[in-house]
Amino acid sequence: MDAARRRSSAVAEQAARASYGRLLALVSARTRDIAAAEDALAEAFAAALAQWGEQGVPANPEAWLLTVARRAAGHQQARAATASRAGDVLALLAEEREDAAASPFSDQRLALLFVCAHPAIDPDAQAPLMLQTVLGLDASRIAAAFLVSSGAMGQRLVRAKRKIRDAGIAFAVPDPADAPQRLGGVLSAIYAAYGTAWDDTLGADSRLAGLRGEALFLARLIAELMPDQPEALGLLALILHCEARQPARRAPDGTFVPLHAQDPLLWSREMVVEAEAALRRAATFGAPGRFQTEAAIQSLHAHQRMTGERFTGPLARLYDVLAGIAPTTGVMVARAVAHAENGASSAAHEQLRAMTGTQTYQPWWAALARVSWLAGDAQGAAAAAATAAGLSADPAIRAFLLGGGYRFAAGGANVGKRG
Amino acid sequence: MQYVLLFQENAEERGKRTDPVAAGPYWGSWSAYMGAIAQAGVMVGGNGLQPPETGTTLRIENGTRHVVDGPFADTKEALGGYVVLEVADLDAALEWAARAPCAAAGSVEIRLVMAPPAG
């Protein structure tokens, strides 16, 4: 009895993890009410835990969960029913009969992703909303990843869901004419989730390491669901290149290892191969964009490390292209460093000095340290590195900067540290 | 809004203050952190504190003064210092808290400063 109960709760848990987003998308697609769909799904999982232990696990656990969740959602709707919504309730219950036996279900997750990244939704809420609805992460975990209090994150998510319901945002994949533009929002939100986990931890915090994996999951999902969108492939290639380097970013003693000193043999070969394939496929569409360009930059970095050949010129030019498409603060800072690595350190210095709003932006100070050192200003470099260290939340990065990690030959040639 | 960040350190982290090997990076991290706060123009004030065993605790019970050596309560983490910041909101205060060297070796408590009573 106990063993059966344990097994049933294990099956329910597995179904929850594997199909949460698909089930939530299916339930909320009709009602457009994500919060209500979450409640319905929670009810279904609770019922599963109670019943499966006694009656055994059903042949198709997902279909069972969907049926119960739809019924719960239908009841909720009926309670709150207005004349205009009654039709939705009937349709919802009709769908229950239609695909109760069908598996795999139609995949509504893509529609759900587009809803989460709708322009009417607060941009700060988009990536968290995707993580919660498609992956089922709870608000406090998402809050920790985005470094806001869990109360504030909960509020943000509640507001976003209310907006979706009250504004009647359609659960649909935009038509091909609108798709590329709307897709940009979806991709940016996924990239933001990945970047949050990448910047703040370097794999030290297992919760954030999980978030990286989840962003990769979303990137793969969207590339799989929209295989003819080159930017979706570009984002996948970009995330894969970064993720492949995870095992090499820290020495066994926990110290930070910058890209120019990493051992490419420690990189995930499978991920590099998958990244290059995605990037090549993206290139066949002849429609370059932000994520393809960023992926191309990471691809060149990888080739540089693997072959020992230097690509500082092409890298600086690719950053110029990227700055033309997406002149974000992060891109402009990285571009300045790329120019300095290519020998133009005083131009790079001017580019950094011309930027505004970077007073507490850690990468700007780290870039200033590097560019100043390449320009021969050791004192200025040390001062900038100290500020960058003070702005970093990662002890390994702090130690790296205070220890003079920014002092190495231009272009990252592997000659060991100087000075 | 003014927030106080209370820096709690565990014993191991506190021990680094006088450890011949660890003292350099320890003080380097704190001075970089304080420097970055000052550079950003959000510092209202703050101090580092001598270790808890140098403290003295006083309590009056039924009119009798009790003076005890050391901290009020022996806890794993002890207050190592504090800063008062002038920032826009809790999220900004959290961002600064995450950068504190003790965030990974203790904790940082964030408290909103009470506004003076009106009138």
Q: Residue A99 above 60 pLDDT?
A: no
Bigger pLDDT: B14 vs B118: B14
Q: Residue B90: list chain A partners with CB under 8 A.
A: 148-149, 152
Question: What is d(CA A182, CA A116) in angstroms, rounded to the nearest whole number?
Answer: 11
The tens digit of pLDDT for each residue in B37-93 reads 999 999 999 999 998 888 898 999 999 999 988 776 677 899 999 999 999 988 889
In degrees, to the nearest 5, what angle opens at C-alpha A130 toward C-alphas A187 and A7? 130
* Domain layout of chain B by residue ranges: 2-112
B37 touches chain A (CB under 8 A): yes
Smallest CA-to-CA distance from A411 within A335, A325, A340 is with A340
Question: What is d(CA A28, CA A105) in angstroms, rounded to the nearest whole number?
Answer: 14
Indicate the length of chain A as a whole number: 419
- Residues 6+ positions from A133 with CB-CB distance below 8 Å: A21, A24, A25, A28, A34, A38, A112, A116
Q: Residue A105 above 60 pLDDT?
A: no
Confidence of residue A418 (pLDDT cuts 50, 70, 90): very low
Say yes or no for a CB contact (<8 Å) between A152 and B40: no
A123: its two tokens: 């941009």
Residue of B nearest to A204 (CA): B104
Tokens 């794999």, residue located? A203
| Per-residue confidence (pLDDT) for residue A323, from 0 to 100 | 96
| Per-residue confidence (pLDDT) for residue A241, from 0 to 100 | 97
Tokens 């599963």, residue located? A48
Q: Which of A146, A156, A362, A387 to mutate to test the interface with B (most CBs of B within 10 A)?
A: A387
A148 touches chain B (CB under 8 A): yes
A353 to each of A315, A357, A385, B112, how far by Cα in Å? 21, 11, 16, 35
Of B36, B40, B95, the CB nearest to A147: B95
Residue of A nearest to B102 (CA): A395
Provide the CA B47 distance to its chain's centre, in angstroms. 8
Per DSSP, B114 falls in state P
B88 touches chain A (CB under 8 A): no
State ipTM.
Answer: 0.83
User: How many CB atoms are closer than 10 A to CB A169?
Assistant: 17
Q: What radius of gyration do chain A's Cα atoms show?
A: 24
A84 to each of A31, A34, A50, A87, A88, how far by Cα in Å? 12, 19, 35, 7, 8
CA distance B68 to chain A (A): 36
Question: What is d(CA B74, CA B71) in angstroms, rounded to the nearest whole number?
Answer: 7
Residue by residue, DSSP assigns A61-101 as HHHHHHHHHHHHHHHHHHHT--HHHHHHHHHHHHHHHHHSS
Q: Mean pLDDT over residues A396-416, rounded? A: 82
B11 touches chain A (CB under 8 A): no
Confidence of residue A299 (pLDDT cuts 50, 70, 90): very high
Q: Which of A148, A255, A360, A368 to mutate to test the interface with B (most CBs of B within 10 A)?
A: A360
* Residues A182 and A174 sit within 8 Å (Cβ to Cβ): yes
In degrees, to the nearest 5, what angle opens at C-alpha A323 toward C-alphas A319 and A327? 140
Q: What is the pTM of this model?
A: 0.79
List residues bridging with B66 in a β-sheet: B59
Q: Residue A283 above 90 pLDDT?
A: yes
Confidence of residue A82 (pLDDT cuts 50, 70, 90): low
pLDDT more than 70, % of chain A: 84
Q: Residue A185 above 90 pLDDT?
A: no
Second-level CATH architecture of B2-112: 2-Layer Sandwich (3.30)
Residue of A nearest to B100 (CA): A393
Helix (H) / strand (E) element for B19: namely none
Q: Mean pLDDT over residues B7-35, rounded? A: 95
The tens digit of pLDDT for each residue in A225-266 reads 888 999 999 999 999 999 999 999 989 998 999 999 999 999
Q: Residue A207 above 70 pLDDT?
A: no
The tens digit of pLDDT for each residue in A1-37 reads 567 667 777 776 666 666 788 788 888 877 788 888 8
Top mean pLDDT of A8-12, A80-84, A377-381 is at A377-381
List residues bridging with A2 in a β-sheet: none
Confidence of residue A79 (pLDDT cuts 50, 70, 90): low
Q: Mean pLDDT over residues A329-347, rounded? A: 95
Per DSSP, A325 falls in state H
Q: Residue A374 above 90 pLDDT?
A: yes
